[in-house]
Amino acid sequence: MTATATATVDVSEPAARFRDLLAAEWLKLWSLRSTVWAYVIGTLVVVGFNTGATYDRYRYWTARNAADRADFIADGIAHQYAYTTNAGTIMMLAAGAIGAVAITGEYGTGLIRTTFAAVPARRSVMAAKVGVLALVMTGYGAVVAALSFWLSQAILARRDAGVSIGDPGSLRLVAASALLAPVCGLAGMAIGVLLRHGGAAIVTVVVVLLVVPLVFADDRHWAAVVDHALPSSAWMRLVDVRYDPGVGIPFPWTVGGAWTVFALWALGAAAVAVFAAPRRDQ
């Protein structure tokens, strides 16, 4: 009696590699014309705020007395024009909104469920989304920060009042302003994963990134702890090149502490996006 062995042939699709997921998310991101316009308009607005404020200072330079002009140069006030507070506010709003819409748009159209059905490794899918967003936002933030610094200081240099990237604090200011975009973008994506609704996510982004910092002042210890744990406050600490803890600051904090806040927000938001989305869709 002869036994015949039958080989079982696996005809299933090969598992998607992580680099394939990254490539898919990259194509998906840039396939939307609105995404490109969001980055272009955001760049123009932020750089416009910085250069506009700088040009205003340049224009009325001679209207100030010699002592004021000397103090401007001696105190390194030119750094404040490299990336103004208003520009930082716009960047936080724009980056947070882009991050939120990047995921809520897929929930709204049902594309996220199609993606999860095609690729069961949901955490890998979300990790790819996080990676692409972080990469693009970092590049976007770096371009905006570099342009703002170069243009603002080029304008002030015509009054011999500008600073260079080699001056103390300049590189930190540019780096912090560049990283503000990915930190807020990832925070927006995490909020979008939790809420799954574009409008609600954007409102929450505004509240968390812009409104909450206005509520907590640093005149009391507990309030200062909360305030120092927010990305907007961390950014303002990092770009404050002339920060003096002994002048009217009851609860000062360090540059290292501000960098830590940036890192924790980015890592925490990425973790929420990667682990919360698959759990909520099971």
pLDDT tens profile 238-279: 999 887 776 667 788 889 999 999 999 999 999 999 998 766
Q: Are 61 and 9 in contact (CB under 8 A)?
A: no
CA 250, 177, 264, 214 torsion-angle sign: positive
- pLDDT of amino acid 252: 80
pLDDT over 80 at 183, yes or no: yes
Element (H, E) at 61: none
> Could you give the CA distance from residue 195 to residue 258 in angstroms, rounded to a whole number?
28
CA-to-CA separations, 144 to 141, 151, 178, 228, 265, in angstroms, rounded: 5, 11, 7, 25, 21
- What's the CA gap between 159 and 177, in Å, rounded? 25
- Enter the DSSP assignment of 119: -
Per residue in 107-135, pLDDT (tens digit) is: 888 888 888 888 888 899 999 999 999 99
Task: Return the residue matching tokens 């036994």.
Answer: 3
Angle among Cα 176, 179, 181 to the nearest 5 degrees reads: 125
pLDDT of residue 278: 66
pTM of the model: 0.88
Predicted confidence at residue 16, as pLDDT, reads 66
Q: What are phi and psi of 142, to 5 degrees?
A: -65, -40
Residue 7 has pLDDT above 70, yes or no: no
Task: Pick the range with the lowest mean pLDDT from 6-20, 24-38, 82-96, 169-183.
Answer: 6-20
> In the chain, what are the domain boundaries?
18-280
Q: pLDDT digit string (tens) for 61-97? A: 988 888 888 888 888 889 999 999 999 999 999 999 9
Contact 57, 51 (CB under 8 A): no
Q: What pLDDT shows up at residue 204?
A: 97
Per-chain mean pLDDT for the chain: 88
Does pLDDT of 8 surpass 50?
no
Do residues 61 and 69 make contact, with C-beta atoms less than 8 angstroms apart? yes
Q: Does pLDDT of 11 surpass 60?
A: no
